[in-house]
């Protein structure tokens, strides 16, 4: 088993803001909640990041960000998590495990967004 490695990167935080801006129409079309850059969340992520331990069967690096949607992933082993203002139906560990599952099941990549999310939720 591996421990998820948690990191903060200012560059990754800025990249997330740029990617969300570029993908804003797609995100809106799929009704994905997006958090615009916020000075408050930026300082919160700098000085008061969540303390959490998660084991997984694949090596994963989790980048905390202060903006964007709640979670995303980048092959082969990165997840990006905005850990604040989570929906009532999901806690932080569940969100992280959900994004890790995206890395574990790359066969879902060719599915529509809705099909992919349903597939991952059922794993």
* Tens of pLDDT, residues 51-103: 999 999 999 999 999 999 999 999 999 999 999 999 898 899 999 999 999 99
pLDDT, one tens digit per residue, over 28-51 is: 999 999 999 999 999 999 999 999
Instruction: Collapse the DSSP code of 23 into the 3-class scheme (helix H, G, I; strand E, B; otherwise coil) and give the result.
Output: coil
- Output Rg (C-alpha) for the chain, integer angstroms: 14
What local confidence, expressed as pLDDT, does residue 1 receive? 92
What local confidence, expressed as pLDDT, does residue 53 receive? 97
| Angle, CA 96 vertex, CA 71 and CA 105 arms, to 5° | 85
Cβ neighbours of residue 69 closer than 8 Å, sequence gap 6 or more: 20, 27, 32, 33, 34, 35, 82
What local confidence, expressed as pLDDT, does residue 123 receive? 84
The pTM of this model reads 0.93
């Amino acid at each position: 088993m591996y421990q998820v490695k948690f990191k903060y990167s200012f560059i990754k935080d800025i990249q997330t803001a740029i990617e969300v801006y570029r993908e804003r129409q797609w995100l809106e079309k799929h009704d994905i909640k997006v958090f615009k850059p916020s000075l408050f969340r930026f300082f919160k992520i700098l000085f008061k990041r969540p303390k959490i331990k998660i084991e997984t069967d694949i090596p994963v690096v989790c980048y905390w960000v202060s903006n964007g949607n709640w979670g995303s992933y980048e092959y082969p082993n990165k997840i990006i998590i905005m850990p604040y203002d989570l929906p009532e139906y999901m806690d932080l560990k569940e969100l992280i495990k959900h994004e890790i599952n995206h890395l574990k099941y790359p066969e879902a990549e060719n599915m529509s967004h809705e099909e992919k999310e349903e597939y991952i939720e059922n794993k």
